[in-house]
């Protein structure tokens, strides 16, 4: 026998399918939502649907944006000859928060992980290579993937692809804790990792 109504069970199932939310949290969230005023719930649902319908990848760097080109790529004052490769849009946000990086980015949307069956074709790597061969004056590619096994594997893979193009490839310093998500690292540590980058 189901303990809750069918609608609540359905809601719990949907919430439990989200990352980082276990069954208990899903139940707690479901009951919280049920107890909210209907207007609040409508607003939340609308925000989710609108984000899904309107957010897309930047044509150049593949970060998530509302327009064809993201504000960073569209900014003439940024150094478009330096590209920092990050795993996801949250890592990009972490570097942007330091306010010290003036180049542009490339967002991979993942990292190579043989264990999880994620290969080079499952991330935006082909797009990076197309971008590099399409642009003439790239001075440096900074690989800022996480220092996890997946991040290091990805960094090595990318550097091997880029080096034959004659473009300087650097890797952020390993002051970043192993396995740590870049977004959880403080700005000083991020800047130190960036400044201490080494050529691969």
Kindly tell me which of 72 and 176 has the beta carbon lying closer to Zn ion: 72
Least CB distance to Zn ion at residue 56 (A): 11
Least CB distance to Zn ion at residue 123 (A): 16
Q: Could you tell me the two tokens for 42?
A: 């409508």
Contact call for residue 91 and Zn ion (CB under 5 A) = no
Least CB distance to Zn ion at residue 69 (A): 6
CA–CA gap between residue 41 and residue 37 (Å, rounded)? 7
Map the footprint of Zn ion across residues 7-36, applying CB under 5 A.
none
Kindly tell me which of 27 and 82 has the beta carbon lying closer to Zn ion: 82
**CA-based angle 81:195:72, to the nearest 5?**
40
| Ramachandran category for residue 99: left, alpha or beta (phi over 0 → left; psi -120 to 50 → alpha) | left
CA–CA gap between residue 182 and residue 166 (Å, rounded)? 28
Least CB distance to Zn ion at residue 121 (A): 21
Kindly tell me which of 33 and 129 has the beta carbon lying closer to Zn ion: 129
Map the footprint of Zn ion across residues 43-72, applying CB under 5 A.
58, 60-61, 70
Under DSSP, the state recorded for 184 is G
| Residue 155 near residue 138 (C-beta atoms within 8 A) | no
Report DSSP letters for 29-90, one per residue: HHHHHHHS-HHHHHHHHHHHHHHHHH-EE-TTT--EESSSS-TTTT-TTSEEEEEEEESSHH
Size of residue set near Zn ion by CB under 5 A: 5
Kindly tell me which of 34 and 69 has the beta carbon lying closer to Zn ion: 69
CA–CA gap between residue 114 and residue 189 (Å, rounded)? 29
Contact call for residue 73 and Zn ion (CB under 5 A) = yes
Least CB distance to Zn ion at residue 104 (A): 7
For Zn ion, what does the binding mask look like between residues 95 and 134, x meaning CB under 5 A?
----------------------------------------
Kindly tell me which of 73 and 111 has the beta carbon lying closer to Zn ion: 73
Q: Which residues bind Zn ion (CB under 5 A)?
A: 58, 60-61, 70, 73
């Amino acid at each position: 026998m189901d303990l809750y109504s069918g609608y609540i069970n359905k809601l719990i199932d949907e919430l439990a399918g989200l990352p980082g939310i276990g069954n208990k949290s899903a139940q707690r969230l479901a009951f919280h939502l049920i107890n909210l005023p209907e207007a609040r719930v409508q607003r939340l649902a609308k925000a989710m649907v609108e984000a899904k319908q309107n957010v897309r990848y930047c044509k150049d760097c593949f970060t998530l944006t509302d327009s064809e080109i993201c504000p960073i790529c569209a900014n003439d004052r940024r150094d478009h000859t330096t590209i920092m490769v990050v795993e996801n849009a949250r890592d990009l946000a972490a570097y942007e928060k330091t306010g010290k990086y003036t180049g542009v980015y490339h967002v991979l949307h993942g990292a190579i992980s043989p264990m999880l069956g994620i290969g080079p074709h499952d991330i935006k790597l082909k797009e990076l290579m197309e971008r590099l061969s399409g642009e003439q004056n790239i001075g440096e590619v900074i690989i800022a993937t996480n220092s996890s096994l997946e991040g290091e594997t990805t960094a090595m893979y990318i550097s091997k692809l880029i080096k034959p193009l004659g473009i300087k490839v650097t890797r952020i310093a390993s002051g970043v804790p192993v396995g740590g998500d870049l977004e959880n690292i403080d700005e000083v540590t991020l800047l130190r990792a960036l400044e201490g980058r080494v050529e691969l």
